[in-house]
Amino acid sequence: MLASVVCLSQQTSASHVGRSLLRLVPNTRVVMFRHGSSTPPTVSSCLAASNGAKRCYTPADIQAAYDTAPLYQKGDNGTGETIVIVDAFGSPTIATDLAQFDTTFSLPAPPHFSVIQPVGTVSAFSGTAPDRLGWAIETTLDVEWAHAMAPGANILLVETPTDEVEGLSGFPDIIAAENYVITHHLGQIVTMSFGATEQTFPSVAKLTALRSAFLAGTSANVTFVSGSGDLGASNDTLKLTGYPYPVVAWPASDPLVTAVGGTKLTLDDAGNRLSPDTVWNDSTPGSPSASGGGLSTVFPRPAFQKSVSSVVGKHRGLPDIALSGACSGLVDIYVGLNIPTYPSGWYSVCGTSESSPLFAGVVAIADQVAGRSLGDVNPALYALALKPNNGLVPVTSGTNTVSVYTRAGLVTVPGFRASSSYNLASGLGTLDVSQFVPALVNATAHTN
């Protein structure tokens, strides 16, 4: 399943202002708005958007919020690094969509952008197939926003030919494709905006048998990043209904993967914070829309989480960190599919599918500063948390408690509350990137 709730604000006909809510693919909901513009959303149009969104953020907004300017001014923007983005099916218009995104926001094109299909040819796109449309939108978000955070990095999009919908579905192709990337040394950072609830796999053995790319990649100093999910403390069952008790998704739960949760930003027009970040939770009763987080039932507590054992106990806890993902603070994407239901134009989206590529961009910058691939950054993240001036900013308010509909009716799934220290809603917190990058580089020199 896609790891994100994707809320879309579509800018189209000036004569019609409307909204429709539909479910495109498992765990992906689309809110469509017609506001009257073929340009990126204005503040006023976002005021009418889903979940009380007041802003549809641009790359400049997000860059300002995470304090990237001091690094960019020194030329540290991911140059020389390659971010690998893995998505089922991909998008047939991604190259031209990215070009439009860059032109509109005055971003440089990536030094090199390429698309490969290493485990099988993707069939022709069909706009009437909900899974294809959902993955095309997902691909656009991943590519455009990894590039927005690390505009100097190369982008490699890896497309696979089968859908990923819980359990084993799609994962053999995804892992085979990632192993191809590792074997051929095609990139230093792999970001994954998808996941399946641990309980939907036939067995623990079936899940752990899929870890080959993470094991090989970690040995090759490749960093793996994944969104923690968008249904709060719950997640999808095989029947795509919510679990009535706390669960987490893999691969975010894997100790060899950095799990990135979602926060809500509140920014002014210059990208300055009007208030501290909070845990993303835009949920309404029966409609969960919140940052994933909790305890793995598959993986025991890794050594790097020993310092937070009072929180995670004997289990792998996630997320590790958190970045922008709220549907009440969307980000802009350009989608050029030009099909009747989704004509070409500007949309606004959300979810940890945003958070994950953002962090992949941060790691690309750190790799450039280090002059080497940092590889598995999890041990360094938790070591950093014990030191001053680390660039980690606690997210101290919010919860990922949600309610879901089950056969028994509406059930509240108790989540976890943010705090000034590590927690299962916002992890170690969010980032001041200009401080975090040099701190991470220094920490990895002592933990890798």
> Residue 12: what pLDDT?
34
Q: What mean pLDDT is reported for the chain?
A: 89
CA–CA separation, 82 vs 156, rounded Å?
Answer: 7
Residue 227 has pLDDT above 80, yes or no: yes
Q: Where are the domains of the chain?
A: 18-447
**CA nearest neighbour of 446 among 367, 384, 390, 393:** 384
Helix H, strand E, coil C: the string for the chain is CECCCCCCCCCCCCCCCEEEEEEEECCEEEEEEECCCCCCCCHHHHHCCHHHCCCEECHHHHHHHCCCHHHHHCCCCCCCCEEEEEEECCCCCHHHHHHHHHHHHCCCCCCCEEEECCCCCCCCCCCCCHHHHHHHHHHHHHHHHHHHHCCCCEEEEEEECCCCCCCCCCHHHHHHHHHHHHHCCCCCEEEECECEEHHHCCCHHHHHCCCHHHHHHHHCCCEEEEECCCECCCCECCCCCECCCCCCEECCCCCCCEEEEEEECCECCCCCECCCCEECECCECCECCECCCEEEEEEECCHHHHHHHHHHCCEEEECCEEEECCCCCEEEEEECCCECCECCEEEEECCHHHHHHHHHHHHHHHHHHHCCCCCCCHHHHHHHCCCCCCCEECCCCCECCEEEEECCEEEEECCCECCCCCECCCECCEECHHHHHHHHHHHHHHHC
What band does 138 get if pLDDT is binned at 50, 70 and 90? very high
21-54 pLDDT, tens per residue? Answer: 333 444 444 444 444 457 887 777 776 655 566 6
Least confident of 14-23, 69-78, 99-108: 14-23
Among 22-26, 218-222, 230-234, 373-377, whose mean pLDDT is lowest? 22-26
Q: What pLDDT, on a 0 to 100 scale, did the predictor assign at position 56?
A: 85
pLDDT average, residue stretch 226-255: 92
**Residues 350-403 pLDDT 10s:** 899 999 999 999 999 999 999 999 999 999 999 999 999 999 999 999 999 999
Burial of 290 (0-12, 13-18, 19+ CB in 10 A): buried
| Position 212 pLDDT exceeds 60 | yes
Instruction: Give domain 18-447's CATH superfamily.
Output: Peptidase S8/S53 domain (3.40.50.200)
| Encoded amino acid at 143, one letter | V
pLDDT digits (tens, 9 = 90+) for 415-444: 999 999 999 999 999 999 999 999 999 999
Percent of all residues in the chain with a pLDDT value above 70, rounded to a whole number: 90
Region 216-244: mean pLDDT is 92
Task: List Cβ neighbours of 239 (8 Å cut-off, separation of 6 or more).
Answer: none
Mean pLDDT on 136-147: 95
Q: Which residue has the tokens 């002059």?
A: 371
What's this model's pTM, rounded to 2 decimal places? Answer: 0.94
